[in-house]
Amino acid sequence: MDELARENVSDQTAEHGSSMEGERDSGRSMLDRRAYLKLGAAAAGVVAVGSRAGRAATTGRHGIDFDRVLNAVEDLGMDPDGNEPIDDALYGAMENGTLIEFPPGQYLFEDYTLQRGLRRFGVRGLGAHRNDVEFITPPGRSSYFLFVRGGSDILLENVTFQQRARKDAGDIGNVIVIEDNLQVHDIEFAGFNSSGSADRWALLPKLTDPDGEGLITGFVHTGPSDFKPHGINDGAGGVFEGHNGKLIYRNCHIENAAGDGGLYTGKHEGSTNFENCFFKNNDMCVMRMGAGSYIRDSTIVLDWDDAHPENTGDVGGVNGLYFSSGQFGKSGGGIYNCDIITRKQDGNNDALGSVFINASDGDVTIKDTRIQNDVDGQAAIYAWAPGERFSSHGTPPESDWGLTLENVSITGSGRSTKGAVFLDTRPETVIRDCCIQMENDDGIHLRESPDCVVENTTINVPGKAIDYTRSSADTSGLQYGESCPVPSETWRRADEDEPTDSEGTDDGDADDGDLVDDGSTHHLKLHSTEKAPYRFTVSGDLEFDPRWGTEDYIEGDSARGFLVGGTDAYYFTGVVTDFELDGDATIELDGGAVTPEELRSMGESGSGGSDSDDDSTDDGPDATTRRLRIEGGSGDDVASYTVSADGTFDSPETLNAEDSISDDGSTVSGTVAGYRDIFDFTGDIVAIDIDANATAYVEGRPVDPASVGDADDDGSDDSGSDDSGDGSSGDSDGSEDSNDDSGSDGSEDSEPVEHHLKLYSPEKSRYDLTVTGDLRFDTRWGSEDHLDGNSTWGVLAGGTDAYYFTGSVTEFDIEGDATIELDGKVVTAEDVRAITDETEEPDAPESGDDDGSNDSDGSDGDSGSDGSEDSNDESDGSEDSEPVEHHLKLYSPEKSRYDLTVTGDLRFDTRWGSEDHLDGNSTWGVLAGGTDAYYFTGSVTEFDVEGDATIELDGATVTPDVVRSVTDETESGGDDESDADTDDDYPHSIAIVGLDTVASYEFTVGGDVAPDTDTGTFDAGDNVSGSSAEGAVSVGTDAYLFSGSVTDFQLDGPAAVYVDGQQVDPDLLATKGLAGAALTHTFVVDGTDSDPCSYDLTVDGLVVKHPWGSDDAATDVVEGTSVSGRVDGGVDAYHFRGDLTELAMDGTAQLSFTE
């Protein structure tokens, strides 16, 4: 008969009913509800309702007053062992004013009975956790549990609907259509979710009264599921037509749900809102809602590489958060303080957006939200043009189509043709205080969207900043170089939001926040490739590590879970007092592999306990127990160690013959080979003597022996006595110890070398780093991840993290394919691990032959050597010199071919574009609105670029001639005589570029000046005299080489002036120098093949015309800090300094920035 239970409850049936529902209602067992309640106490296991009601009158829960409370076992005779069906007892007792409470157990039901007009009724589990009370159906049968129409005040609390691991049927659903006051608290749908005729909507609520309100909190539905094409699966739940009231979903966790969205909640007359919820990897879209409702403080994740391993079928999930109010055409509502991450979609589907706003929805607000989009082909925010997307529905509101984006951060590696934000026919949109940082995409695309506002916003993208198509926008406070906040990697799953208060057991120890890894916190990680249930208890606090798996079940100091080809992890304090594992699993405690016996031995040793009777004085000054791990190297290499503490050591393991603890317990010694030794200790470690092929860890963190106790501070080196620079205590006295390069001649004052490490990966990649010195985050990149002292770890997912550090690298591990840059050069992970402690000793040259004396008298020649035949004297630096590596970046908003050949090495910079046609030391490519970049050494023998392209050499915007002038250079301490006239005598260049109108110039430098005929022209009108030059230019370029600095520069007429390849403000060159006069930013308005576009911009510094960007010069006016211009099928460009404070554009063009 259960096949009849399969009803279309999504749109029509859930509201209006059907003939088969009426048939079931009337054709049920002859023992109907009222007849059941009239039975006397003589019925086995049943207590008359009258007597019960007298004892428990007017019991209230969650705003519902009940007349009577019935115990499912004691009063109604239900079987808590799941053997006998409870149908007659349960549905027979469903009476107005009744609360049925279920003791812990498993309850079998076979079918459901439609309830009409039911008021003040509830079902509540009495367990300490929702999983303590489970409802099941017979094998192979799906059914609804509650099916209620009409009435009000319905409670469903603290129970689990256990669908088990069966894949034939067994789904359980609930349909509750009432007027007001729906209360659903702490329920879970566990096990496999079927498809087709076996599928059931897990929870399908409606409030028919426009003033009705309801709360659904702690709703958990995590799969796995059978994914079928659109329209076949019901899914975790939905809210459809006929819902007129206000529903709030709070602290819910919906994951691996089939159907159309994690919850399908947009198409109705009322509102459906979400607070502090977690949605991940649900089909078609991770979450579906509509305008007029809100979602706040929640996390939405799309990453099909991290889906449940037991999912079956083909997913169709391509969107993150999907807004569609359908035929109701609503406006308002939005997204507030959410993290939205779209990392990996199913490869068989087209993508739309991390946030997609359908054609039916109007003005939605997105505020205080972080969006990460790593999916190619989709935008981070995509707002469709209002209209009827489908013929059957999709009517938009008559007006108010514009969006409001405020304090929104958008990051990621996704590539698309839509930009990070794509707005189609969304006039009067406001984008305020936002930050866009995409690695491979444009910024904002406006299509048919006039009268928009973009203010106080960062757009840091390699492509177009703003693309206008028959649109206009007033822009002010635009930034383009800053980094943007990224979503949190620690996703908050608030499955258990409040104590259940069951049986009076209210645990007052509510979670006061995350556990802090303060040295006494342990980390436990469990992994299995097969089915492996586990359970454990600790003596202290326990918290789930959300980086791994899903939150299984934590109850105070105990946890239980179920591994199926996955990983779970926890933080805890104290010790493990009990641990049970059924199956094979890899167990890691504080980073080291352990066995279940070793975990249980933590409790047997009594370490970490907090017994107040414990005499802490016996264990030294600090009786807090910590863990020491000695980790051996790979292979059979034996490493010896001795470790001492000011407390005592104990071993949770049986010691080998080679390992020992001293009689007083203060010292351990032993050997390791390819494995590890473990000790518990109190106090502090005061000395470590360990072979280089082993590592000591305290609480999971590597320890540098040199930093322990007094190993690095014996008082002898920094007393400061008689060491005031007279040379008496070192080798700086010029004595015969000139070859002593031990560092003792300056160790007291030497400075540690600071390195820069940058990590980038286009996909998910975890890394761990520990150094012996200082470690700090480079705030220009990514987020700070998990920096703790001299250790850090993080997860790259299409982004970049960077750090500064000193000392040696003791640990560096990185997963996946990642680009690693150390001090500006791409290296391998092995190169990073090879970094050892270094100091900067300015008096010691690389050759090591300098005796520390002052060679300023020149007696030994320019090289600083003594002129002898010393074989170690490498004064010319030729043998050990390193080639200088340059970085070349090319960008063009239109089609532009380039060719490049160098004499040295040439390699592609994988952070930009694609590899094009690299062949040895030559390459060519075609730019078309994108960027390519290379690293190279040696001289440039060929460089040709067609069209208008922006060229950056070593971070500075230059002309093609500057690139062609690059010659072979080496990094050495000596002077190359052959380059003396060029590199030394004339280290700087200056170029004056004509702008089609005659401009005269004259300038004076502090050194010498000479014509540079390789770069520009030097004709009869140009003149050089000593340290001065003068001339005139209208088209082409005049160029010079010079030494010293520019002391005076006069320009009469329009021209662009470049110094060392960078455009400058000539009026400031003499007084501010190159740094103060440089125009470091470029602004491009590209109207190629487009309708006309006018623009006005203002900066708070200076703006000048770029020499190659002048589409309609007659309409372009530059006045001080402002520009007014127009493009009509071409490109305008400007160099400027400072910030862009105002910008207004009207028409069709692409706006981009470069630095």
Gap between the Cα atoms of 267 and 272, Å rounded: 10
582: Cβ–Cβ under 8 A, 6 or more apart, which residues? 532, 533, 534
Residue 13 has pLDDT above 70, yes or no: no
* Whole-angstrom Cα Rg for the chain: 37
Weakest mean pLDDT among 173-182, 535-544, 720-729, 941-950: 720-729
SS3 content of the chain, % helix, strand, coil (to 5): 10, 45, 50
Q: Read out DSSP for 596-632?
A: HHHHHHHHHTTTT---TT--GGGG-S----EEEEEEE
Residue 194 has pLDDT above 80, yes or no: no
What pLDDT score does 265 carry? 82
Residue 183 has pLDDT above 50, yes or no: yes
Q: Read out DSSP for 212-239?
A: -EEEEEEEEE---BEE-STTT---SBB-
What pLDDT score does 169 carry? 73
pLDDT greater at residue 962 or residue 492 = 962
Mapped onto helix, strand or coil, the DSSP state of residue 659 is: coil
Using alpha carbons, list the distances in angstroms from residue 569 to 527, 528, 529, 715, 814. Answer: 9, 12, 15, 44, 20
Residue 1139 has pLDDT above 70, yes or no: yes
Gap between the Cα atoms of 705 and 713, Å rounded: 12
What pLDDT score does 217 carry? 94
Mean pLDDT computed over every residue of the chain: 76
Residue 858 has pLDDT above 70, yes or no: no
What pLDDT score does 325 carry? 78
178: Cβ–Cβ under 8 A, 6 or more apart, which residues? 118, 148, 149, 150, 151, 152, 153, 154, 206, 207, 208, 212
What is the per-residue pLDDT across 267-278, written as a single tens digit (0 to 9) for each?
888 999 999 999
DSSP 982: I
Residue 187 has pLDDT above 60, yes or no: yes
The helix or strand, by DSSP H or E, that contains position 1074, with its residue range, turns out to be helix 1066-1077
Residue length of the chain: 1155
What is the per-residue pLDDT across 209-250, written as a single tens digit (0 to 9) for each?
999 999 999 999 887 777 776 666 677 888 888 899 999 999
Q: Which residue type sits at 679?
A: F
Percent of the chain with pLDDT over 90: 26
Nearest to 144 by CA among 114, 187, 112: 112
- Which span out of 493-502, 730-739, 765-774 was modeled with the highest average pLDDT? 765-774
Residue 1145 has pLDDT above 60, yes or no: yes
Mapped onto helix, strand or coil, the DSSP state of residue 962 is: helix
pLDDT greater at residue 512 or residue 138 = 138
| Beta bridge pairs of residue 962 | none
- Sign of the CA dihedral with 718 first, then 722, 724, and 727 last: negative
Nearest to 340 by CA among 424, 241, 410: 410
**pLDDT bracket for residue 106 (50, 70, 90):** very high
Gap between the Cα atoms of 137 and 110, Å rounded: 6
What pLDDT score does 727 carry? 37
What is the per-residue pLDDT across 1059-1118, written as a single tens digit (0 to 9) for each?
988 888 888 888 877 777 888 788 788 877 778 888 888 888 778 877 655 556 667 788
Gap between the Cα atoms of 889 and 521, Å rounded: 47
Gap between the Cα atoms of 2 and 1116, Å rounded: 76
Mapped onto helix, strand or coil, the DSSP state of residue 35 is: helix
Average of per-residue pLDDT across 424-428: 92
Query: What would the 3-class secondary structure string for 132-168 be?
Result: HEEEECCCCCCEEEEEEECCEEEEEEEEEEECCCCCC
**pLDDT bracket for residue 1035 (50, 70, 90):** confident
Nearest to 286 by CA among 246, 313, 253, 239: 253
Half-sphere exposure of 398 (CA within 13 A, CB side): 0
Q: Six-digit token pair at 232?
A: 């076949």
Whether residue 816 contacts residue 761, with contact meaning beta carbons closer than 8 Å, is answered with yes
Gap between the Cα atoms of 1008 and 1004, Å rounded: 9
Q: Six-digit token pair at 547?
A: 């980086």
Q: For 384-538, where are the E strands, in sequence order?
A: 404-412, 421-424, 430-432, 435-438, 444-447, 452-455, 458-460, 466-478, 521-538
What is the per-residue pLDDT across 278-332, written as a single tens digit (0 to 9) for each?
998 888 788 888 888 999 999 989 887 777 777 777 776 678 888 887 777 777 8
What pLDDT score does 451 carry? 92
Residue 184 has pLDDT above 60, yes or no: yes
Whether residue 322 contacts residue 358, with contact meaning beta carbons closer than 8 Å, is answered with yes
815: Cβ–Cβ under 8 A, 6 or more apart, which residues? 765, 766, 767
Q: Six-digit token pair at 302?
A: 């799309």
